[in-house]
Structure 1
Amino acid sequence: MVQDKDHILLNNLLYSCVDETKRSNEQFVHEHSLGYIISGSVLCATTEGEAIVNEGIVGLVRRNQLLKTIKIPPVGGGDFKSINIFFNQDILRRYSLENNIKAVGPYTGDKYRMLPDDPFIKGYFESLLPYFNQPDRLNNALIELKTKEALELVLKIDPSLKDLLFDFAEPYKIDLEAFMNKHYMYNVPVDNFAKLTGRSLASFKRDFGKIFSTSPGQWLQQKRLSEAYYLIKEKGAKPSAVYLDVGFENLSHFSFAFKKAFGVAPSLL
């Protein structure tokens, strides 16, 4: 079990509870994630746009993508609460073999799918809640059973989702320059960028150097700072509202780097 102030993680089951609007630090979706918003709402943003997912909605997020989320408590008061179950590749491959279910071909549909309203899938998520209070009741065998139960329910609701769930192809080699110019504001490790562009870390760094004539770390910082300068100087944005959006982790580091690059503190523009 992994637990902090706002989250409890039991193997591949995640319970979130926050009492104030909070931005998530996790921006790279490693595995397919099935989530249920118990209360409140969440703002999901990708380079394709933004969407609000409200209380009572069940959604499936595809693996291997970059995502920014903001968790928002209910307007009338109370906590934001949600449960997610992550479908790792091992269990999906086993389920595929056991049930002879295969994807028709590479999945090219939406990265996020909202499921139709269904009392069985909501009842399933509610059945998980007691385990977060008594985690010792949840062993590996039971976790696998609960994961397979979720898969059964999802496929019953929408059989076409097999093409998303059982597409085991890894990202193929794509245009690195175009991808980085579109996704540089996502604050994720360089090896995540490498994976998403279909490269090993060594190959990514080599190709990156040929294209940009600098290292990924240096380029990312300069690109993010330039975007921040534009937003603050030309759009009147406040530094405290910009630094996370452009890919920095904390305000003090952003302010230090900004002043070093432009000779003035961002608050003085």
Structure 2
Amino acid sequence: MSDNKPVQKISYSCYFNKTKDGEQFVSEHVFSYQVAGKFVMNDGEKEYVFHEGEFRLNKRNTLIKYIKYPPAEGEYKNIAVYLDQQTLRSFSEEYGFTSEKHVQTPPIISIRPHALLTNYMNSLQPYDQFAQPGNEILVSLKVKEAIALLLQTNPQLKDILFDLSEPGKIDLEGFMNKNFHFNVSLDRFSYLTGRSLSTFKRDFEKTFNASPGKWLQQKRLQEAYFRIKEKGAAPSDVYIDVGFEDLSHFSFAFKKMYGVAPSRI
């Protein structure tokens, strides 16, 4: 789900401490079950909160920030099943499921609890057996089982899961003003706006009269300045939220733009 790291088709997360992982590009649909703790996500417009025992579907080709909260005394635990396009395409061909229309929904969909889904997720909790090399066939079958169960318990998901189209060309200015604080590559931004990288750069300079890199840094620093000065936020709480990878780089760029360190505002 991240911008740079490959993922397994079935993933089990376990944390003892609060984890603020920043942001991720969700490249495939992800069906998840919150085993313990709380998972908070933000798509830039709305916050979504999931508690123990709840299911969700993260739609592909979306940008999400998230924080993981373990319970008061215990571990944060989550199981995620990645419904990749290759598996969905194969499932479509084998069983005849197709998307009949493009459906506009939020990037994160709450899935109502169902005994079939709970039993399925329980079957994944001996996680070590799926993580072992040589179990690729078993993992593949479990991913197909997840698709079948979602379709049986939530038939309306058919038009979402089997919409195999790529993002179309969209309004660049509106998209970037909404998503500048996501620290993902220009390749991702260009893909999500329905453009090649070269077309994205050309359209960007025509729209903003600046290169993407320069505009992104300036926009992120302006947002950081506003939050620190007007909202009283601490620089250490702001830099990830506005799209910087580390505090030292953020502080250097901030001082270069404003002539003073963020801690002095």
Confirm or deny a common fold (TM above 0.5): yes
Pair 1:83-2:79 in alignment: yes
Counterpart AA for 1:46? D
Give 1:15 deviation, angstroms.
Answer: 1.0
Residue 39 of structure 1 aligns to which amino acid in structure 2? A
Pairwise CA distance, 1:163: 0.7
| C-alpha distance in structure 1 between counterparts of 2:123 and 2:222, whole Å | 48
Q: Choose from 60, 65, 78 the match for 1:68.
A: 65
Q: Aligned ranges for residues 108-119 of structure 1 at < 5 Å?
A: 108-119=104-115
Deviations 1:172-214 (A, max 9, x none): 1011011101110111111111111011111111111111122
| 1:128-147 matches, cutoff 5 A | 128-132=124-128, 135-136=131-132, 139-147=135-143
Instruction: Specify the alignment match of 1:97 in structure 2.
Output: 93
Out of 168, 173, 178, the position equivalent to 1:177 is 173
- How far does residue 132 in structure 1 lie from its aligned partner after superposition? 2.5
What does 1:37-48 correspond to in 2, within 5 Å?
37-48=34-45
Correspondence for 1:51 among 43, 48, 53: 48
In the alignment, is residue 234 of structure 1 matched against residue 219 of structure 2? Answer: no
Match among 24, 28, 33 for residue 30 of structure 2: 33
* Partners of 2:55 and 2:110 within 8 A in 1: yes
Counterpart of 2:12, as a letter, is Y
Over 3 Å counting, the alpha-carbon distance change for 1:122 and 1:10 in structure 2 is farther
Q: Return the offset for 1:160.
A: 0.8
Q: Which consecutive unaligned segments of at least 5 residues does structure 1 have? A: 1-8
Moved more, 109-118 or 247-256: 109-118
In 1: Cα distance, 2:57 partner to 2:14 partner: 19
State whether residues 34 and 60 of structure 1, in contact with CA within 8 Å, keep that contact through their aligned partners in structure 2.
Answer: yes
Compute the displacement of 1:11 (Å).
2.8
Q: Could you tell me the percent identity over the aligned residues?
A: 48
* Deviation of 1:137 (Å): 6.5
Shift of 1:10: 7.0
Q: Deviations over 1:196-233 (max 9, x none)?
A: 10111111111111111221111101100011111111
- The one-letter code sitting in structure 2 at the alignment partner of 1:66 is L
Which of 122, 147, 154 aligns to 2:150? It is 154
> Compared with structure 1, are the counterparts of its residues 38 and 110 closer, same or farther at alpha carbon in structure 2 (3 Å cutoff)?
same
Q: How big is the shift at 1:147?
A: 0.7
Partner of 1:4 in structure 2? none
Partner of 1:167: 163
The CA distance in 2 between the partners of 1:134 and 1:32, in whole Å, is 19
Paired positions, count: 260
Distance 1:179 1:52 in 2: 24
- Establish whether residue 210 from structure 1 lines up as the match of residue 192 from structure 2: no
Moved more, 10-19 or 181-190: 10-19
8 Å CA contact 2:22, 2:240 repeated in 1? no
Instruction: Give 1:126 deviation, angstroms.
Output: 1.9
State whether residues 22 and 67 of structure 2, in contact with CA within 8 Å, keep that contact through their aligned partners in structure 1. Answer: no
Q: 1:125 to 1:160 in 2, by over 3 A?
A: same
SS of the equivalent of 2:187 reads: helix
The SS at the match of 2:79 is strand
Q: Which of 100, 104, 107 is the aligned partner of 2:103?
A: 107
Corresponding residue number in structure 1 for 2:219: 223
Give SS of 1:20's match: coil
The answer to whether the Cα contact below 8 Å between 1:184 and 1:223 also exists between their aligned partners in 2 is yes
Cα distance in 2 for residues equivalent to 1:15 and 1:131: 7
Between the aligned partners of 1:10 and 1:251, the Cα distance in structure 2 is: 27
Give CA deviations for 1:132-151 in whole Å, capped at 9, x if unaligned: 36632652211211111101
Query: How far apart in 1 are the matches of 2:129 and 2:69?
Result: 23
Q: Distance in 1 between matches of 2:16 and 2:134?
A: 27
- In structure 1, what is the Cα distance between the partners aligned to 2:134 and 2:50? 29
Following the alignment from structure 2 to structure 1, what is the Cα–Cα distance between the partners of residues 257 and 7?
Answer: 43
Amino acid at match of 1:116: R
Q: Tell me which stretches of 4 or more aligned residues in structure 1 moved more than 4 Å.
A: none
Structure 2 unaligned segments of length 5 or more: list them. Answer: 1-5
